[in-house]
A and B are shown apart, each in its own frame.
Chain A
Amino acid sequence: MIPDFDQQGQAQTKEWTPEVQAPAILLENVSKSYGRIFALSNITLALNGGVTGILGMNGAGKSTLFNLLMGKIKASQGSIKLFGTNPWKNPAPYARVGFVPEHEKMYDWMTAHGFVSTFARLNGLTRDEAGIEADRVLEFVGLTDVAYKKIGEFSKGMRQRVKIAHALVNDPELIILDEPLQGCDPLARTTIMNVIRELGKMGRTVLVSSHILQEIERITEQIVILHQGRLLALGNLHSIRERLDQIPHRISIEAENPKALAKDIIDIDEVFGISFPDGRNVSIQTHNLGAIHARLPKIIVENGHKVSSIDNPDDDLASILGYLTSGGRV
């Protein structure tokens, strides 16, 4: 209960003895229920190092998981440890954590620099130190030019980057990003993805949630899939993808001359059906996505087809979830 008199950024210092060996995140049989509804049930997870994507549809429990990790809510069952310490009881581990909340609301009246440096001081930095750190992280996310502009004037992507900067200001070992790409324009998306990848390369443990598979795919291969509060899959996206490729898939190609392209494609063994949804597209059905993707570029180039886009409408989270929840039968 007593305030942290030395203000050095580790509240309740007595209780806080960091375990050197403890993983960044350790969840054991964690459940969170609201009345009889389980938002999360029986999650066991240990993460340390690298970038991990948390995939799940809206309401799958991603935000609940993050709120538990950030000590916002209390687990109904099980134990949660951040660097070996229960975050609900003790905020001390946050000295080593950076969090980017999903909430859009920010302090619009503050400048980016003011926001980042003010909250940096909560990590136990003095005003001067916080100012220097704020400059550093704002440069890292590419906002140096607008550092002294009000957040209220920022675009969605810039606001997200300010939030990321604020989370990085204490040079954290664990960074948690809740839907950081949501609502961002493509340019901001790329910048943010680069930042996250960069953090991964720097050896940080990064946790990033999304409900869009392609986004996560561009950032990391290590994924955790949540579905209806349960941990559905955990591991390398490619191994999941390889199994997924064996099930029927559609590939939609937008070309100048769809009929001519179809004629060349029909020769591929793995293709078992072709249709023309409209005048500009050709839709291919296949059992082996990987094989098609391996051969398709060559066919297009050799025959001089003009293709404006190749799309996999089935290659999204919903179909992965459908595949995983049906036990491999589609």
Chain B
Amino acid sequence: MATKPDSVFRSLDRKAAAIVEFTLRQYRTRTSTWVVLGVGFTALALIFLIYIDVMASEFESVDNDGDSFDTDGDGYPTGQERKLGTDPFSDESHPGMFDPPIEPEPASKYINEDGFDWDVTASFGEQSTGYDDDGDCLNSNRTASQKDTNENGIPCDIIIQRSTSPTGEIVIQIFADEGVDEDPDEDAYTREAIHLGFVLSIGKLGFVLLLGIFLPLFMATGLIRDEMTSGTMHYMLAKPVARTEVFLYRTLGYLGIVWPYVIVLGILGALVSGFVGSGDDFFRFADLGVWLAIVFATMMATLVYGMLFNALGVLWKYGIILAIPFAAWELGMALLSMGAPDATILRFSVIGWALMIIDSVAMMVWPNLDTFILMGEWGGGGQGSDIFGSSSLQGSVPLSFFSSKPGLGLSAFASTIVATLVLLIQAVVFWFIGGALFKGKEIQ
């Protein structure tokens, strides 16, 4: 019958393409497909709206070091007096007595006047960084020992020290000279932290967890089972196609609708966060790498869960009930991976590996993410900028929760490759299990 020579495409045009195409068309005719896809879209759209709203709001700027106040009532803010070397606690001493006299500066100039100037390169050991922008440390009136309170011989710097505790955990300590980087810009930091935290959290929870589990739960569980129940499986099995192949091609058909959907939502997310996100640029191109990782991780998750849930559907008429404990387990693992990304138990989950892809790529795309979180948690080193008396900047705690380090001890790139391979192996294993179950199934 074949008169033309066979190309790869002509070969695939036969059984595989027929079942994939058939499955796609079958999804299209079902209301449930559109309901599931619509609910997923609505849920994510709501989160995007909340994000847009947050990014549009102002964050209160806090004067961490209190130098915008005029403590002694001489009309000069403390910061200006410190910089110029007069006594901020005495109205007898102020820059107005200089020759020529210096006019007082507005107090607002001494809010957020000393931001982070961190350039952290060492991943281990001790490093000196930071710069005193407002001159309250480098002030010429101060003695050498006053300028070097952390006693490393460098005046007005910050020491970041990474060491290993006896239990093997990495401990980071920050020793800052008094008055260095002590009054950062809260609004800018919080805006950036919320943006990064949003991209990571919607990527991990919204895409990988929500879409990654619920799309397969509702769309893959019945791939084989529904046909078996309705009796239409007879048509397919009366053809010279191995059941394992039917299982595979049906799953591919499911991916044919789920993957484009995930990609479209990913593009939407990248556009929204790229335009609305913090920063002076018109569009945040740097984040696209992370969005790519989010879409890829979600695609891998829908692949593995698709195979798994399809197999569960073959196993039992009410396969969706079997799938629910898996979904609960994966939810637990997702939360665990954010708190304890090193936990060995994560290796026995799907989502642990999928999230590792996002974390690894985030490490590559945002190389300063760790430092950024560190800055926020240190927050200028002052006391009491929030109700817990911690100096941490707003946004740093959630960001630190949602970002974690891939716990394999490998480089970010290697972790991405390993995680992808593990997910592919999981998919193949579930395919074989599902195929074997289907092969042994008697169909009435």
Contact = CB atoms under 8 A, between A and B. Distances in A.
Contacts of B432: 1
B1 interface: yes
Interface stretch (A103-111, A203-211, A253-261, A302-310): A103-111
Contacts of A291: none
Contacts of B21: 118
A7 B16 contact: yes
Interface in A97-137: 97-99, 101, 103, 105-107, 109-110, 118-119, 121-127, 129-130
Contacts of A6: 6, 11
Given A103-B232, A121-B17, A126-B13, A71 B245 contact: no
A71 B237 CA distance: 8
Interface in A130-176: 130, 166-167
Contacts of A106: 232
A107 B226 CA distance: 12
Contact of B232 (A95, A105, A121, A130): A105
B238 A167 contact: yes
Contact of B231 (A11, A12, A94, A103): A103
* Chain A: number of interface residues, binned into ranges: 35 or more
Contact of B442 (A8, A73, A122): A73
A19 B16 CA distance: 27
B236 A122 contact: yes
Given A7-B12, A101-B235, A72 B442 contact: yes
Interface in B1-36: 1-2, 6, 10-19, 21-22, 25-26, 29
Contacts of A48: none
A123 B239 contact: yes
B242 A7 contact: no
B10 A126 contact: yes
A99 B234 CA distance: 9
Contacts of A125: 1, 14
Contacts of B16: 3, 7
B1 A11 contact: no
A287 interface: no
A243 to B, nearest CB: 36
B387 interface: no
Contacts of B25: 109-110
Interface residues of B, number: 40
Nearest to A107: B232
Nearest to A103: B231
B286 interface: no
Interface string A1-27: 111111111111000000000000000
Interface in A24-76: 67, 70-74
B10 A107 contact: no
B230 to A, nearest CB: 5
Contacts of A103: 231-232, 234
B241 interface: yes
Given A72-B444, A121-B14, A124-B15, A11 B241 contact: yes
Contact of B14 (A72, A97, A99, A126): A126
A330 B25 CA distance: 58
Contacts of A118: 18, 21-22
A6 B245 CA distance: 12
B375 interface: no
B232 A91 contact: no
Contacts of A70: 234, 237-238
A11 B11 contact: no
Contacts of A105: 230-232
A60 B15 CA distance: 35
Nearest to A167: B238
Given A70-B238, A129-B1, A109 B13 contact: no
A70 B239 CA distance: 9
A1 B14 contact: no
The 4 closest A-B CB pairs, nearest first, are A121-B18, A103-B231, A122-B239, A99-B238
Interface of B: 1-2, 6, 10-19, 21-22, 25-26, 29, 230-232, 234-245, 248, 432, 435-436, 442-444
Given A72-B237, A91-B240, A105-B232, 10 more contacts: A1-B435, A6-B11, A71-B237, A72-B234, A105-B230, A106-B232, A109-B29, A119-B236, A126-B10, A167-B238
24 contacts: A1-B432, A1-B436, A4-B15, A4-B241, A4-B245, A6-B11, A67-B443, A70-B234, A70-B238, A71-B237, A72-B234, A72-B237, A72-B442, A73-B443, A74-B442, A94-B239, A101-B231, A101-B235, A103-B232, A119-B239, A122-B236, A124-B14, A125-B14, A167-B238
